Chains A and B, each alone.
Chain A
């Protein structure tokens, strides 16, 4: 039986697991961690992938089991949910602050999805440079080193930076 205090402790442990590809933020900051509940003696942790092919999900599940085991939770189920689909809107204010502090521009609000998706042929809102704050930036690549990022360059301070895509 997991007590209420135990569950709160388990939640804190799970929430502190760093993302393997963006280790400056946690799985809770990114909105990947959806729920931590008990089912009798077992702890059930629910996570959701950011992108369909995200290879980090398995690593995250492994880290969750390892850290929870180290905190005394022996029986842990890590479950995946697909719906509702992850959105960059789920990145918390704290997560955005940490991304920005690490030189990664956080995402804008995700495009609203209802009916046919409109074609976007022109650039959306400007992405501010996380180093100097300038809005005079250029997208150098639509995709980056991980599925969730794009590459930008600041025209004011001339530094390149990454941006978490709004989806």
Chain B
């Protein structure tokens, strides 16, 4: 081992008085040193809401994946989900930090993640779904990553340079997540009769949550050149899902979309019952010990 290699490990146990990521928190702003200004002509309130919604999707989805930790049948799949959850958490941190910048009231990523209530979260209801088994996990990840990749592919050309940079970076990660999920859907769908039936049943559960992903978004409509029109994503996502379902010998599920509540859904802050339990788990430590570091 060279001196440098040794130092990298040795430094983990050094008494430096600094916070070490391997041991503690004390996270810095993920957008530190990046020009925080909102471009001229961009509606800052709409940009705040838009980044918040995209950040919430990733934060809530990441937490659902984290709940699978220690419950996976194989270490390799557990590692895969931990990596995917980490990528999404990284995207969430940057998007929430961007929302805080655009809002201009000094709220940071942690304020937005831990100190908002259920009705203030703007994530789609697909993100909060509780996967009852591995087939649902694979099917839901396929739909979510295919949709988010199509969205981020467009946002990479956003007129907001920070959102564009976050999207371009995230797209590379999402392409890898989508391939991972697609391979599992195919392996299960085109596997044994039992795995085929379980995968088909799982898609039947997931599908009602997909319609919401393509619904008109009044926030996006206020951000021409910055945001993407959700309806525009459907053709690209459908092509991907059809290719995977075809290879998996699965039929596209039929069935009505999950009902909206008085016309409202996730993007309006209206969530399904399990959301409150998820949020309680996600926020309890931060609320019990505000601003704690260790």
Chain A interface residues toward B at CB < 8 A: 16, 18-20, 23-24, 26, 46, 49, 51-56, 58-59, 61-63, 66, 77-87, 110-111, 113, 115-117, 119-121, 140-145, 147, 151, 165, 167
A sample of 20 inter-chain contacts (CB < 8 A) reads A23-B8, A23-B9, A52-B91, A53-B87, A53-B90, A55-B86, A63-B11, A78-B33, A81-B33, A82-B162, A83-B168, A85-B169, A110-B172, A116-B150, A121-B183, A121-B186, A121-B247, A142-B179, A144-B83, A167-B176
B143 located at the interface, meaning its Cβ lies under 8 Å from any Cβ of chain A in the complex = no
Chain A interface: which of B24-32, B112-120, B253-261? B24-32
A56-B21, A83-B161, A167-B176 given as contacts; is B183 within 8 A of A117 (CB)?
A: no
CB of B90 within 8 A of CB of A117, answer no
Bound complex: CA of A145 vs CA of B168, how far in Å? Answer: 24
CB of A18 within 8 A of CB of B8, answer yes
B127 located at the interface, meaning its Cβ lies under 8 Å from any Cβ of chain A in the complex = no
Selected from A110, A116, A142, the residue in CB contact (under 8 A) with B180 is A142
B89 located at the interface, meaning its Cβ lies under 8 Å from any Cβ of chain A in the complex = yes
Q: Which residue of B lies closest to A56 (CB)?
A: B21
Q: Which residue of A lies closest to B164 (CB)?
A: A83
B292 located at the interface, meaning its Cβ lies under 8 Å from any Cβ of chain A in the complex = no
B211 located at the interface, meaning its Cβ lies under 8 Å from any Cβ of chain A in the complex = no
Chain A residues closer than 8 Å to B86, beta-carbon distance: 51, 53, 55, 147
Selected from A59, A116, A140, the residue in CB contact (under 8 A) with B21 is A59
CB of B175 within 8 A of CB of A117, answer yes
CB of B91 within 8 A of CB of A53, answer yes
Selected from B34, B83, B179, B243, the residue in CB contact (under 8 A) with A147 is B83
A80-B32, A80-B34, A82-B169 given as contacts; is B179 within 8 A of A24 (CB)?
A: no
Chain B interface residues toward A at CB < 8 A: 4-5, 7-9, 11, 16, 18, 20-22, 27-28, 30-34, 76-77, 79-80, 82-84, 86-91, 93-94, 149-150, 153, 161-162, 164-166, 168-173, 175-176, 178-180, 182-183, 186, 236, 239-240, 243-244, 247
User: What is the minimal beta-carbon distance from B166 to any residue of chain A, in angstroms?
Assistant: 6
CB of A51 within 8 A of CB of B80, answer no
CB of A58 within 8 A of CB of B80, answer no
Chain A residues closer than 8 Å to B166, beta-carbon distance: 52, 82
Chain A residues closer than 8 Å to B153, beta-carbon distance: 115-117
Chain A residues closer than 8 Å to B82, beta-carbon distance: 143
Q: Which of B8, B31, B34, B173 has the most CB of A within 10 A?
A: B8
A52-B87, A53-B90, A167-B176 given as contacts; is B20 within 8 A of A85 (CB)?
A: no
CB of A119 within 8 A of CB of B80, answer no
Selected from B94, B165, B173, B240, the residue in CB contact (under 8 A) with A119 is B240
Chain B residues closer than 8 Å to A119, beta-carbon distance: 178-179, 182, 240, 243-244
Chain B residues closer than 8 Å to A167, beta-carbon distance: 172-173, 175-176
User: What is the minimal beta-carbon distance from A157 to any residue of chain B, in angstroms?
Assistant: 21
Bound complex: CA of A134 vs CA of B230, how far in Å? Answer: 46
Selected from A55, A86, A111, A141, the residue in CB contact (under 8 A) with B169 is A86
User: What is the minimal beta-carbon distance from B266 to any residue of chain A, in angstroms?
Assistant: 22
Bound complex: CA of A19 vs CA of B88, how far in Å? Answer: 22
User: What is the minimal beta-carbon distance from B172 to any residue of chain A, in angstroms?
Assistant: 4
Selected from A66, A79, A116, A141, the residue in CB contact (under 8 A) with B76 is A141
Bound complex: CA of A30 vs CA of B16, how far in Å? Answer: 26
CB of A142 within 8 A of CB of B176, answer yes
Bound complex: CA of A32 vs CA of B69, how far in Å? Answer: 30
Bound complex: CA of A49 vs CA of B91, how far in Å? Answer: 12
CB of B182 within 8 A of CB of A121, answer yes
User: What is the minimal beta-carbon distance from B280 to any residue of chain A, in angstroms?
Assistant: 23
Chain A residues closer than 8 Å to B93, beta-carbon distance: 52-53
Q: Which residue of B lies closest to A17 (CB)?
A: B4
CB of B79 within 8 A of CB of A144, answer yes
User: What is the minimal beta-carbon distance from A17 to any residue of chain B, in angstroms?
Assistant: 8
Q: Which residue of B lies closest to A54 (CB)?
A: B90
Selected from A24, A81, A85, the residue in CB contact (under 8 A) with B172 is A85
Chain A residues closer than 8 Å to B32, beta-carbon distance: 79-80
Bound complex: CA of A24 vs CA of B2, how far in Å? Answer: 8
